[in-house]
Amino acid sequence: MGFSSSLQGQTSHEALLGRQDAEIKLLETMRRCLTTKVKSDREYASNISALSTLGKKVDRSEDLVGSLIAQSWRDIMESIDQTAKLIKQQADSMENIVVEHISCLHSERRKARKFYQEEQAWLNNQFQQLTDEVTRKKAEYQKNLEMYKLMRSRFEEHYVKSGRGGRKLDEVREKYQKACRKLHLTHNEYVLLLGAVTECEHDLRTCYLPSLLQRQQAIHQDFVIAWKGIMQDVVKYTDFTNGKFQEIHTRMQKAVDTIKPIEEYRDFIGKHRTRPASPIRFIFDENLVDDTSGKLLPNKLTVDNLTIDWLRNRLTELETSLKTTQSSRQTAQPNTENNCDTKSSLDYSQEREELRLRCQERKLQRQAEVIRAALNELGCEELPSGCDLSMEGSFTEPVNKTSVITDNGFFTLRRNQKFMTILKSPFKSLPVIHNEKKGLVRAGSEGSTVHRAVESGSDVC
């Protein structure tokens, strides 16, 4: 049972800050009371010393030479004077040692509290940044999706009005393809981001947060040990060895002996126990791909002619960054091992840097693995078209009755290598071929894009 496993919740965090505030207030009270005691002891010692000086002044002392009563009195006064000096010495030690240690402990306690609060705020900020980053990317995804729908509807509208040709249709087609490509790229970025932030959040929650709390428990226990030493000094410098003071000293010593650092926070932990921090789940919003004709799939990279170059370049960048990060981690590890003995209990810079490099390495590895798997899955197959410009099942090109005779069925374009080339170049307009012999123009379609060709006994030119 410890801080790292029992105090991960927000209420535990607030309770721990409250406990630190209470301990700081207790230190202030102790310092104030002991300062007052030092002042009182010095005044008491001064009064006793003055009393001793007064008692030594005996009138007509020459008449009392050899008197046992006078010698006894002088011994008593000397003892009182020694007692005054001892009390003053105890008061000086109390001020120079105990009060000074309490002041140092009070200062360190405030620094520790500030450090813990800043680290906890940084950790919460990291979780919030991950959430905000995913939210922003999701909003960008939705924005690009709306633009994609708008460009597609405009393309369909101009296609119906102007047929397959015309400068305006080409402009609309180009805008539609750009919107489609941007949507696909945003989709891939969203998928990669979800994987990256999931790894980062897992490391923060399962590594950094428990480490921070475990370090805080160690700091608290170190403070308790120092605090116990201060209490022992208080007992030491208030012991005047007579019966009454010995009884008080015994009671205080027993009270101090009951302090056990390992038991100090048992009741506190039991009272403020919370469950371990729950993970933040980053899930792909499948509603984003409902209207993308099945080309974009949840949690799956889209590999097509629009994204293949970007994916390969991105993979190269990730592999380069991964090597740099791994090299930085290897360089930092020897320095950490050499400095482990002199590392301050409040120094988190090296551990945070190691966590940052490890988190960065995991993020890069995850993204590289996702891209590599997607490229390996494609293999040597032909790249699919990312931007579907066809209007299958949606439109039929109007036919001029005076110059065109419609065939009873559309012939398959895959029979002709020429049409395969045309299909792979959707931005090139398809020439209209006339049959001089029959005076016919053949209209054919595959998907939702209309093509025209001459029906003849030989291959289409």
Diameter of the chain measured on Cα atoms: 165
Least confident window among 104-113, 123-132, 259-268, 375-384: 259-268
Position 209 scores a pLDDT of 87
Write the CA distances from 174 to 135, 163, 387, integer angstroms: 29, 16, 10
CA–CA distance, 147 with 82 (Å, rounded to integer): 95
User: Quick one: tokens of 166?
Assistant: 């015309």
Position 336 scores a pLDDT of 57
For the chain, how are helix, strand and coil distributed in percent, rounded to 5? 70, 5, 30
Cβ-in-10-Å burial (0-12, 13-18, 19+) of 342 comes to exposed
| Closest to 107 measured CA to CA, from 96, 99, 95 | 99
CB-based contacts of 133: which residues, under 8 Å, 6+ apart? 193, 197
CA–CA distance, 201 with 211 (Å, rounded to integer): 15
Sequence length of the chain is 461
CB-CB neighbours of 40 under 10 Å: 11
Q: Which of the residue ranges 68-77, 234-243, 301-310 has the most confident prediction, judged by mean pLDDT?
A: 301-310
Position 187 scores a pLDDT of 92
CA–CA distance, 151 with 154 (Å, rounded to integer): 5
CA–CA distance, 184 with 144 (Å, rounded to integer): 9
Least confident window among 69-83, 234-248, 359-373: 234-248
Say whether pLDDT at 251 is over 60: yes
CA–CA distance, 182 with 190 (Å, rounded to integer): 12
CA–CA distance, 445 with 419 (Å, rounded to integer): 10
Contact 203, 362 (CB under 8 A): yes
Least confident window among 182-186, 208-212, 335-339: 335-339
Q: 3-145+211-258: which CATH topology?
A: Substrate Binding Domain Of Dnak; Chain:A; Domain 2 (1.20.1270)
Say whether pLDDT at 155 is over 60: yes
Report, in angstroms and rounded to the nearest whole number, the Rg of the chain calculated over CA atoms: 43
| Closest to 208 measured CA to CA, from 281, 287, 277 | 277
- Alpha carbon dihedral 331, 336, 338, 341, in 10-degree steps, equals 180
Say whether pLDDT at 124 is over 60: yes
Measured at the alpha carbon of residue 17, what is the angle toward residues 12 and 23, in degrees to the nearest 5? 125
Q: For the chain, which residues make up each domain, given as ranges?
A: 3-145+211-258, 296-333+348-382
Position 417 scores a pLDDT of 41
Higher pLDDT, 413 or 184: 184
| Closest to 442 measured CA to CA, from 393, 403, 416 | 403
* Cross-strand partners of 364: none
CA–CA distance, 318 with 364 (Å, rounded to integer): 6
User: Quick one: tokens of 160?
Assistant: 């119906």
CA–CA distance, 191 with 185 (Å, rounded to integer): 10
CA–CA distance, 232 with 98 (Å, rounded to integer): 9
CA–CA distance, 260 with 225 (Å, rounded to integer): 8
Write the CA distances from 38 to 80, 86, 97, 230, 256, integer angstroms: 19, 13, 12, 15, 21
Query: pTM for the whole thing?
Result: 0.59
Higher pLDDT, 281 or 332: 281
